[in-house]
Amino acid sequence: MRVIMFDIDTLRADHMGCYGYGRNTTPVIDSIAQEGVRFDDYYCPNAPCLPSRASMISGQYGIHNGIVGHGGTAADMRLQGRSRSFTDELSENGLFMQFRRAGMHTVSFSTFAERHSAWWFNAGFNECVNVGRRGGESAEMVTPKVLEWLERNGKEDNWMMHVHYWDPHTPYRTPLDYENSFEGTPMPDDWITEELFQEHLLHIGPHGANEINMWNDHSFAHLPKHPGSLKTLEEARRFLNSYDDGIRYTDDNIGKIMDWMKENGLYDDDLAIIITADHGEDLGEFGVYAEHGMADDPVCRIPLIVRWPGMRKGAVVKGFHDNTDLAPTVQELLGTSMATWDGFRYDGVSFAKALKDGTDCSRPYAVLTQCAHVCQRSVRFDDYIYIRTIHGGYHLLPEEMLFHVKDDPHELHNLAPERPDLCARGAKMILDWTEQMMKSSRSDTDPMWTVMREGGPEHCRGELRRYMERIDGTPRAYGIPLLEEQYGTPGPKNGFQSYL
Tell me if 64 is assigned to some domain. Answer: yes
Are 295 and 377 a contacting pair, CB within 8 Å? yes
Band of residue 243 on the pLDDT scale cut at 50, 70, 90: very high
- DSSP SS3 for 125: coil
Q: Is the peptide bond before 447 cis (omega within 30 degrees of 0)?
A: no
pLDDT at 87 over 50: yes
Tell me if 180 is assigned to some domain. Answer: yes
- For the chain, what percent of residues have pLDDT higher than 70? 98
pLDDT value at position 214? 95
Q: What is the tens place of the pLDDT at every residue in 347-379?
A: 999 999 999 999 999 999 999 999 999 999 999
Separation CA 478–CA 257 (nearest Å): 52
Are 127 and 139 a contacting pair, CB within 8 Å? no
Are 14 and 283 a contacting pair, CB within 8 Å? no
pLDDT value at position 342? 87
The H-or-E segment that residue 402 falls in is strand 400-404
pLDDT value at position 498? 35
pLDDT value at position 492? 58
Contacts 24+ apart (CB under 8 A), 334-343: 334/98, 334/99, 334/101, 334/102, 335/102, 336/98, 336/101, 336/102, 338/93, 339/89, 339/92, 339/93, 339/101, 340/89, 340/92, 340/93, 341/83, 341/85, 341/89, 342/80, 342/83, 342/89
Q: What is the tens place of the pLDDT at every residue in 2-11?
A: 999 999 999 9
Q: What is the tens place of the pLDDT at every residue in 133-173?
A: 999 999 999 999 999 999 999 999 999 999 999 999 999 99
- Write the CATH number for 342: 3.40.720.10
Average pLDDT over residues 76-100: 95
Average pLDDT over residues 110-138: 97
In angstroms and rounded to an integer, the radius of gyration of the C-alpha atoms of the chain is 22
Tell me if 67 is assigned to some domain. Answer: yes
Of 429, 500, 421, 415, the C-alpha closest to 461 is 500
Task: Dump the DSSP string for 366-390.
Answer: EEEEE-SSSEEEEEEETTEEEEEEE
The H-or-E segment that residue 341 falls in is none
pLDDT at 495 over 70: no
Kindly report the backbone phi and psi dihedral angles of residue 478, in degrees, each rounded to the nearest multiple of 5, phi listed first.
-55, -25
Band of residue 494 on the pLDDT scale cut at 50, 70, 90: very low
Q: What is the largest CA-CA distance in the chain?
A: 65
pLDDT at 239 over 80: yes
pLDDT value at position 130? 97
pLDDT value at position 491? 66
pLDDT value at position 226? 94
Note down the domain range covering 350. 2-364
pLDDT at 500 over 70: no
Are 47 and 377 a contacting pair, CB within 8 Å? no
pLDDT value at position 497? 39
**Cα separation values, 44 from 51, 209, 228, 463, Å:** 9, 26, 28, 27
Tell me if 450 is assigned to some domain. Answer: no
pLDDT at 455 over 50: yes
| Mean pLDDT value across the chain | 96
Tell me if 440 is assigned to some domain. Answer: no
Tell me if 284 is assigned to some domain. Answer: yes
Average pLDDT over residues 234-240: 96
What is the number of structural domains in the chain?
1
Separation CA 289–CA 284 (nearest Å): 5
Separation CA 25–CA 11 (nearest Å): 11
pLDDT value at position 240? 96
Q: What is the tens place of the pLDDT at every residue in 403-425?
A: 999 999 999 999 999 999 999 99
Are 299 and 47 a contacting pair, CB within 8 Å? yes
Kindly report the backbone phi and psi dihedral angles of residue 4, in degrees, each rounded to the nearest multiple of 5, phi listed first.
-125, 125
Tell me if 170 is assigned to some domain. Answer: yes
Kindly report the backbone phi and psi dihedral angles of residue 327, in degrees, each rounded to the nearest multiple of 5, phi listed first.
-60, -50
Tell me if 306 is assigned to some domain. Answer: yes
Band of residue 499 on the pLDDT scale cut at 50, 70, 90: very low
Q: What is the tens place of the pLDDT at every residue in 10-52?
A: 999 999 999 999 999 999 999 999 999 999 999 999 999 999 9
3-state SS string for 134-182:
CCCCCHHHHHHHHHHHHHHHCCCCCEEEEEEECCCCCCCCCCCCCCCCC
Residue 493 CB-density burial (10 A; 0-12 exposed, 13-18 middle, 19+ buried):
exposed
Separation CA 335–CA 328 (nearest Å): 10
